[in-house]
Amino acid sequence: MAVLSALVKRFSLKVKTQSKKVNKSWLNDHVNDPYVKLAKKEGYRARAAYKLKEIDEQLGLIKPGHLVVDLGSTPGAWSQYVRRRLSPDGAAVGALNGTIIAVDILPMEPVEGVLFINGDFREPSVLAELETALQGRMADVVVSDMAPNLSGIESADAARIAHLVELGLEFAQKHLKDEGALVVKLFHGSGYSQLVKLFKESFHIVKPIKPKASRDKSSETFLIGMGLKHRNIANP
């Protein structure tokens, strides 16, 4: 019994040590990350702003006068980037030539000029609130950084990811202009090829992009669909 207790204790200490090493390694990578430093310098809430920036610069998605919907917006870095793109001077405050509507289940600190809806996009009541905010207008661009809490069980995680991507696509088919664009986050692995196929069936142009700001270790990538082939017949 004493031997077993000693082994359990040793294993526990080993796990804790490994966990500390992993946390220390992550913290070291984070602190020394050039995008983290740049985000701090330029006033962005998260390094994720540079993912959307690179996608936008490659494809020219966001233009002055646009109506942009930001799904899964918290902490607000993507909304901050869009806000600066729609500013005549590229500023974080002041005049804004366009409309930004952001949605997230988590609270978000205000971003000047951004209408924020705090709620679960999967809930009909929240979707209805978003549709009311659109005031009958169609979006030029829909961006989604939504991602589920991953369990580590591949099949379950793939289903959760697919569900969020499909919700974003369904929203776009109802509320995106014919020539508009949808940007979603997804992960390589189970279900990835099926989601790409779904996008190709829905858009004239489909581009997968892994921005430089997306960490090498991450299977995260972004899928951009441009020019709707068809839309949901329920569109008002």
The CA radius of gyration of the chain, in Å to the nearest whole number, is 20
Torsion angle (degrees, nearest 10) of CA 188, 194, 196, 197: 160
Is 217 annotated as catalytic? Answer: no
* Residue linked to tokens 């809806």: 117
Q: Do the Cβ atoms of 185 and 150 come closer than 8 Å?
A: no
For 23, phi then psi, to 5°, come to -60, -40
Selected catalytic residue, list 185, 200, 210, 212: 185
List Cα–Cα distances, 78 to 29, 30, 167, in angstroms.
22, 19, 19
Residue 133: partners with Cβ closer than 8 Å, 6 or more residues away: 101, 115, 117
Nearest to 170 by CA among 112, 124, 107: 124
Q: Do the Cβ atoms of 158 and 191 come closer than 8 Å?
A: yes
Q: List the catalytic residues.
A: 185
